[in-house]
Structures are given as structure tokens and as C-alpha cells.
Amino acid sequence: MDVKKSLFDNLQNFFGFDNFKGDQESIITNILEGNNTFVIMPTGGGKSICYQLPALMSEGTAIVISPLIALMKNQVDQLRAFGGNDSIAHFLNSSLNKSEITQVKSDLLSGQTKLLYVAPESLAKQDNIEFLNLIKISFVAVDEAHCISEWGHDFRPEYRKIKQVIAGLGNNIPIIALTATATPKVQQDIMKNLGMSEATLFKSSFNRPNLFYEIRPKRDINKEIIKYIKSNPGKSGIIYCLSRKKVEEVAEALNLNGISALPYHAGLDPKVRAETQDKFLMEDAEVIVATIAFGMGIDKPDVRFVIHHDVPKSMEGYYQETGRAGRDGGEGICIAFYAQKDVDKLAKFMKDKPVSEREIGTQILKEVIDYAESGVCRRKQILHYFGENFNETGCNCMCDNCKKPKKQFDAEAQLTTLLKFIEKTGEKFDDAHLLNVFLGLETAQTIAYEHSKVPEFGIGKEEGILLWKSVIRQAVLNNFLFKDIDNYGLLKLTKQGKDFIINPYSLKFVLNEPIETGTDDDDDDVKQGSGALDTHLLQLLKDLRKKIAKQKNVPPFVVFQDPSLEEMCTHYPITTEEIKQISGVGSGKAMKFGTPFIELIKKYVEDNDIERPIDLIIKTQANKSQMKVSIIQNIDRQIGLEDIADSKGITYEEILKEVESIVNSGTKLNLNYFIDEVIDDDRQDEVYDYFRAAESDSIDEALNELGETDYTREEIQLMRIKFMSELGN
């Protein structure tokens, strides 16, 4: 690259862009002048060019400190593609072997390498520090600089050592710190920990006007996600989950439903993770299901949706993860599912942490809860969190709250009460305590401070928690109060708040609506059967079942049980794959009995012009297969049912239920080894003959007919399992 050429010429020659975006030109000029530089720029704003271009134009090598191997590889590949030269950029981390490290060092010593990406752990190694002292360093770029702060969403202790290492590399090496997300508190931490108090700050707006933000209650979540993706075919997306287990489960559920999805988490082999990223970039996979490890530095501009399967841990994390959508300025839909159970889980994780860490974590999580539960413009809340004021009329219905009509209330009286009480009590309390006072809830704290005796105690009992949460939240969002996060989140009056106490005026706040928190369905079993029952079709299916039962010389319930037929009358399955998803069917029964039922339903749908609720037929993971597969294997090995129950930590009654469920879904099991031990042959024959002639498979009716003194309920159940397995499967 010709350093004498203008910035614009170099930008065009190397990267192919005609113009800089936002503050890029000023930032690059500042770095080229040797000044410390602090860049806060949202994802998609073009942060990487801010250090790549000056590195290419400067004498020596720029060191880029980055937390993720994936990010390094991605950026190095891009720079080599632009420059047509493999030596122009390198990374130095644990993924390289000895010969690759030797090659990197050789290129650095020859002066060919303009950018060297290193992980903070690699940077701190003594032999690497000694080597870097042999080369000329143009500047040091600290990417993802929020990792330096305990108040950031991805704190990494090794980032705290960067300042010390840079000091050991020589005098007056300029530093550029870059992050997409930083609250005012995190900004202070970054500058303090890198010794950059005199740095020039370049702060872009955090507003991403093309992103649509939505919170949904967490119910039937796999069904919701599959329905959304299927209604947006051909669009790339990322689904974030909090646990590796959930990542695997969701990816499997998507693939079962014809959606090309890959899991991504730290437990996978690095080679597999690299391949997964490449497949996503090359569009060989539509969707990535990931823990938060995925996406940092992934330069895919056309991610069209980001879904949070679980409540995010922090607003910074949420903002950065949603920021991976619509980086090209096009559509970006950001949906987060909210369940109280998720919040409880995150709070539980924090219980074992040191007190200071727990305090920080609790406040960070509280911001997420307030965001999710508030009826105020989502964009206004996000930007306020990062210290930026936003008028919600500018949202243009780009969030769920701005899209729906808002319930408002006159908040003058409540706001005055709130601000005066904070002033009277010396600005020493957080929002939780204030809520307890106004709602009249006696707690250890309200009693200790004698706040249960003040006139404000219980003043808002009739108005309720939603209204008072709305008042406190919007008092902060509208700058009547500020939250002192350095001091346990205590609420303090701003000048505007003090002025309001002296001269109150009429104003309206948005009333929070109760969020249907849904159930955090850990098992994610999709509940079928939500449609109205088609009684005419049910009769046709029962007639068909009777006819087939006569042909096969079996009772009708052996073909399909009533609940299975009823579910067919709400979902109208017309393929083998679809009928397999009906409860009590499974592969075995679908193959043996399914075809005539599918044909009847298909004709019925066509003749009656029925619109099938196809989105409700969601395939689940082999009926939560792990337990069932293990039971089948144990039965094949002829292990007693009591022993299998003990090994699974369940009761004998529960194991019978599981075995019956397996058989009813069409899997043949040979339980003779067990039944022969507990029921003699004559009694077996009697029960078998009874079921052969019975109209119903009811155990109560069987006991009534055969005599409760002669048989136990468990014996009848065992024989019913044997009967259904031998005749039905």
C-alpha cells in the first residue's frame, strides 16, 4: 500500500469502498497522528477498518488484541483476500503448530506483516513479549475492549494485564480501544485500565434504526421458532441459548423440521466450530443455534433474524447479539423469549459468586428484566442504557411496544410522591425498596428504616405493582432520576427531578402490561391438539379403524387409540412424516396402519377445502428419546423392569407407563422373559383372550370383568402391553 496516497485512495484501492462511514476518517487520521484513540461504534458501523487501514499505511506492525480465535481467522482471511498476499496479516494463538508459528515470526521479522492478531493470553506469554520487542510496532488495537470491565457483558481477567504488557513493548506506543457496547461506567473502566485518560473519544450513536425489537412470552418455544423460520424461508439467522445442552436440542428440533441448522458452542472441537462458521458464511446452513460464543467478528452482513431462546444475561450482551442482524442496513428482526423461570435460573447461578460479583450481576440482570417487562419503546430503553437519549416518536413502529396502542396514565401525582420520598430519605434506596414502601409490603428493610410507619407506606396498594414499576422505570428513562450503579443501584435525583418537585406539571407515562411469562418448557415437548375437534372426520376415522380391525382380526384400539384419532382431527396429517408426529403413532404404527388413514384425511381435506394448521405439526426429538432408547436396550438385554426403574431413578408404576408409551407408538417389545416370571401361562391366556374380544383397552373394565381378587392392576397393565406389542406392532 502506498502510504503517500490519500486516505480515500487507499480505502478505494484496498477495500474497494468509495467513502468512509460515520467517524471512520477522523478516527484513522487520529491514529495516524500517533494519538491514543477510544472508539465506541455499534456492530455494523465498520470498526475493523478503523485499525486495519492505518495499520496498512503505517511503518511496522500493528498488534490487534482480540478475544476470539474465530474473529482473528475471519479478519486475517479477509485481509489476505483484499491484499492478495498471505503475509500481510497473521494471527498468533493456540490453534497454530510449531512450524506455523515459525512462519509467522519469519514474516514479522522480514517486515512483510502489517497486522498481527493475538489473544490476550498469548500476548502475556514471556517468549512472545521477548519476540515482539524485536519488531517495530506501529500501534496496539484492543478490540472488544468491554472485556476489560467487570461491568461489561463478557469480562475477561486477562484483559486487565494488557496495559502492563504494552508498557513492556516500548515507550509511547499508541493504543486504540474499540467496542460496540459500553455504558458510561464501562467506558470509564476501559480508559482507566488501559491508562488512556487523554485518549480522543469517538462515540457513534447506538441506534440501529433497521432493527426491530420484540419480546414474546416463552410458551411452546420450539413451535414458535420453527413457525417463524418457516414463514421466512431462505433467510439467515442466529438463535442464542444459554446452555450447550439447549443449543444441541434446538438445533436437532430445527433439522427434524426441515430447517438446515448447526449447533455452535465451546464444547465442540475447534475444527468443527470453524467449519460451522464457514458453512454459515457460505450459506450451507440457514441457521446457527449457539451460545454467546458465536458471532463476535463474524462478518456476515445479511443475518436477517436473531432469536434469544432464553432471557439474555445483560443488556450489553443482548445489544451486541442483536447487533449481528441487518449489518448491511437491511431487515433485522430481533425476538427474545421471556420466562420468569429463566430469570430465576440466572439469579440462582449468581448465588455462589462472591458478594461484589453478585451485586454487579444482580443489577445487570435487573436491567434486562425492566427492559423485558416495560411497555416503553424498546429502542428508547436500549439507548438510555448506553447513556443516549432518544425520542420514541423516532422509533417508527420498529419495536413491539411502539407498534401496539399504548395505555397511558397521568403520572404527575405518583412521580411527585416518588421524587419527594427519595429526597426526604436522602437518596439512599433502590427501586425494589421504594416499590415495597409504596405497595405497603413489610420487609426487613422497610421495618429497619421504619418506612412502614411513613405516610407513603401502602399509598400505591390499590394502583398496583405494574403502575408503580412504570413510574419508577420511566422516571429514570426520562431523566428525573439516575441510577448510581457504583453504589448498589441507588436512585438519585437529577436537576430535572429536583426542578419537578418545585414546579410539577402534568405528564403521561406508559403503563406496563402484564407480560404472560409463559412456561420455561425445559422439555420443549410441543403440545399438540390445540385446534377445534372435527367430529365429522372423527366418525369417519373410527369407521375406518373398525374396518381395518376386522380385517386384521384385532380390537379397534390396537390399530389407533381414541386420543390419536382425535389429534388427527385437529391437525389433518396427510403424509407419513406428519402422521408419525401424532401422539401414540410413531414409526411402527405409521408404517403398519397409517396409509389408509392418510388417504382418507387427504381426500377429506380436499373435498371440504380445509386449511390445515400445518405450522402446528412440529416434529419433536424422537419423543425425548434418550430415556426410551435406554429402556428398549435394557429390555432387549432382558433386565427386570424393577431394576431398570431403579437405574433410572423412577418408580415401577412409572416404568410401566414409559414401556406402554413405547409400545403404543408402534415399537415391538418382547417382555415375555419378565411376564413369564410373574404371571403363569393360564392366567396370561385368560387376559389375552379378554383383550382380543374387548371393545375397550380400559384396565378398570378388564379388572371388573376378570375379577379384582384374581388379578392386580399391574398384571393387567403388563398383559395389555404384551397384547398391544404382539398384535399392534
What's the confidence (pLDDT) of residue 170?
Answer: 78
Homologous superfamily in CATH for domain 625-728:
ATP-dependent DNA helicase RecQ (1.10.10.1390)
Per-residue pLDDT at 405: 81
- Residue 622 is predicted with a pLDDT of 47
CB 278 within 8 A of CB 259: no
Dihedral sign, Cα of residue 336, residue 341, residue 343, residue 346: negative
* Architecture of the domain defined by 535-616: Orthogonal Bundle (1.10)
Mark 451-460 as b/e (b = at least 16 C-beta within 10 Å).
bbeeebbebb
For the stretch 421-463, pLDDT in tens is 999 999 999 999 999 999 999 999 999 999 999 999 999 999 9
Question: Tell me, what's the pLDDT at 616?
Answer: 47
Beta partners for residue 319, in sequence order: none
Fold type of domain 211-403: Rossmann fold (3.40.50)
Positions of CATH 3.40.50.300 in the chain: 7-203, 211-403
**pTM (2 decimals)?**
0.66
Cβ 573 vs Cβ 602: under 8 Å: no
pLDDT at 526: 38
Write the CB contacts of 55 (distance below 8 Å, at least 6 apart in sequence): 61, 62, 64, 114, 115, 138, 139, 141
Q: Which of these ranges, 91-105, 208-222, 308-322, has the smallest mean pLDDT? A: 91-105
Is the confidence at residue 164, as pLDDT, over 60? Answer: yes
Instruction: Identify residue 468 by its one-letter amino acid code.
Output: W
Tell me the C-alpha distance between 165 and 163, whole Å: 6
Q: Where in the chain is the domain with CATH 1.10.10.10?
A: 412-506
Task: Tell me: pLDDT of 480 over 50.
Answer: yes
Which pLDDT belongs to residue 644?
A: 87
How much is the pLDDT for 343? 86
Parallel, antiparallel, or unpaired for β 303-308 and 332-338?
Answer: parallel
| Distant-in-sequence, close-in-space partners of 43: CB < 8 Å, separation ≥ 6 | 180, 208, 320, 323, 324, 327
For residue 293, name the pLDDT band (cuts at 50, 70, 90).
low
3-state secondary structure at position 288: strand
Q: Which of 292, 475, 239 is nearest to 370 (CA)?
A: 475
In contact, 400 and 333? CB cutoff 8 Å: no
Rounded to the nearest 5°, which phi and psi values hold at 458?
80, 10
pLDDT, mean of residues 235-257: 91
Model pLDDT for residues 52-80, shown as the tens digit of each residue: 999 999 999 999 998 877 677 778 888 88
Chain-wide mean pLDDT for the chain?
86
CA distance 723 to 581: 23
Mean pLDDT for 581-593 is: 82
Kindly indicate whether the domain formed by 7-203 is annotated with CATH number 3.60.15.10: no
For the chain, where do the domains classified as CATH 1.10.10.1390 start and end? Answer: 625-728
pLDDT-above-90 percentage for the chain? 36
Per-residue confidence band for 522, with pLDDT thresholds at 50, 70 and 90:
very low
CATH topology of domain 412-506: Arc Repressor Mutant, subunit A (1.10.10)
